Structure formats: C-alpha cells, structure tokens
Amino acid sequence: MDNRELANANPVVLNPSDLPTRKRLSASQHGEGKSSSIFSFPTTTLSSDPLYHSDVSEASDSDVESDAEDIDEQEIYDLIATMSDPEHPITLGALAVVSLPDISIKPTMPHRPESPLRTVTVLVTPTIQHCSLATVIGLGVRVRLEESLPARFRVDVRIKEGTHSTAEEVNKQLADKERVAAALWNPTLQSFIKKMLETCE
C-alpha cells in the first residue's frame, strides 16, 4: 500500500471555521461548502430539538434512559468529523466526507415507542467517484461509532447515493456485521483505522 498512488491527490478542503460545531450553531446551517444541495435531506435542526439542551432534559426527565437522549446528530458528527482520511492528514469533516445533514438518528422500532434502540445512519461522500478507500473510510466510521456509542445504537454507514461507482457493493460490505468484525482482525485494516483515529481527541 505504500507505493500506492493517492486516489485523490487534490481534494477539496473546507475551511475549519466553516464546519458545524456545537459552539456556533448557525454554522451547521450553511457550513457545508460545495454541497449545499444536500439540505434537501430533512435533518433534525438542532434549534428545534427539545432535547438539545441536555442539562434541561435530564432535569425534567426522571427516566434513566434520558441520559442517552443527549446524543444527537451533532454529537455523532463530532465523533467522526475529527477522524482523518487514510491518505491525507485532513479530517473527514474538512474533506466533507461526512457532513451534519447526512447524519440521522431514528428510532429503530418505530412501532415500539418505549424501545431505547436508535438507528444512526451516516451517509459518507467519498472524495472522488472511484475512491478505492471508500470501504475503509466507511469501516472506520462504523467502528468509531460502534466503539463510542452505547449498545442501544445501531449504526448504518452507507455511501451517499450517486457519489461512488460501486456504492452498492461497498454498502453491502459495510452493513455486514460479520465482515466488519472479521475485518477488525486484519492487521492491515487495523493500522488503517488506527491511523484514521489518530486525530480524534
């Protein structure tokens, strides 16, 4: 892999100050640079999320599960945007590989309102259509979220529609729990993921 040519030598890099953060809420509304069209995706807007002010929700809710409700799309974004691209020392957030509007959290069992299970869906936008590392990036994102989130979260990582030539194939692999688990025993993939996580925290 060392002699491999970079799949994308000149990726578009966003200005860090344009990335959505918890501190500047407004940034999440217009900070996505080139991909403004993705706002058609009905993401949860932070300001309208009643649980966004986590301190308040905890106080008002005696349910033990309320802790978990603190986790919102922004938090998911913060977990993965700081990961770096395996071939650039640039974060996935800055490369717009992951973006806030492409993250959603939904009840896993809509017919069971009392169920604490939540499904996190992250759509990954590879830097170029043929990016050979799309699977590795997706794997890294899935692993990062599975390791960071409580067990009641189900993590679905997919390639954003129309952004990759073999998206279907990649999606199937990323959805396969057994393959993901097996991949983590592979030293090459392990080192890739370790590298991606170096820039976190």
Nearer to another protein, 97 or 183 (CB): 183
- Please tell me the distance from the alpha carbon of residue 48 to that of residue 45, in angstroms, as a whole number: 6
Angle, to 10 degrees, between the axis of helix 134-148 and the axis of helix 167-175?
A: 30
CB 139 within 8 A of CB 189: yes
Near another protein by CB under 8 A: residue from 6, 12, 56, 182: 182
* Cβ atoms within 10 Å, residue 7: 18
Shortest Cβ 53–another protein spacing (Å): 25
Cα separation of 150 and 137, whole Å?
21
Nearer residue to another protein within complex by CB, 55 or 114: 114
Q: Residue 161 Cβ, how far from another protein at the closest point, in Å?
A: 18
Segment interacting with another protein (CB under 8 A) among 45-53, 85-93, 105-113, 136-144: 105-113
Give the contact letters, 70-89, x = binds to another protein (CB under 8 A), - = no.
--------------------
Q: Does 194 bind another protein (CB under 8 A)?
A: no
Least Cα distance to 141 among 187, 185, 99, 108 occurs for 99
Cα separation, 3 vs 61, in Å, equals 55
Q: Phi/psi at 174 (nearest 5 deg)?
A: -65, -25
Q: Residue 195 interacts with another protein (CB under 8 A)? A: no
Stretch of 26-34, 38-46, 87-95, 107-115 lying at the interface with another protein (CB under 8 A): 107-115
Stretch that binds another protein, among 4-12, 77-85, 92-100, 106-114 (CB under 8 A): 106-114
Choosing from 109, 130, 161, 194, the residue that interacts with another protein (CB under 8 A) is 109
Please tell me the count of residues contacting another protein according to CB under 8 A.
Answer: 22
Residue numbers at the binding site for another protein (CB under 8 A): 108-109, 111-112, 115-117, 150-152, 154, 172, 175-179, 181-182, 185-187
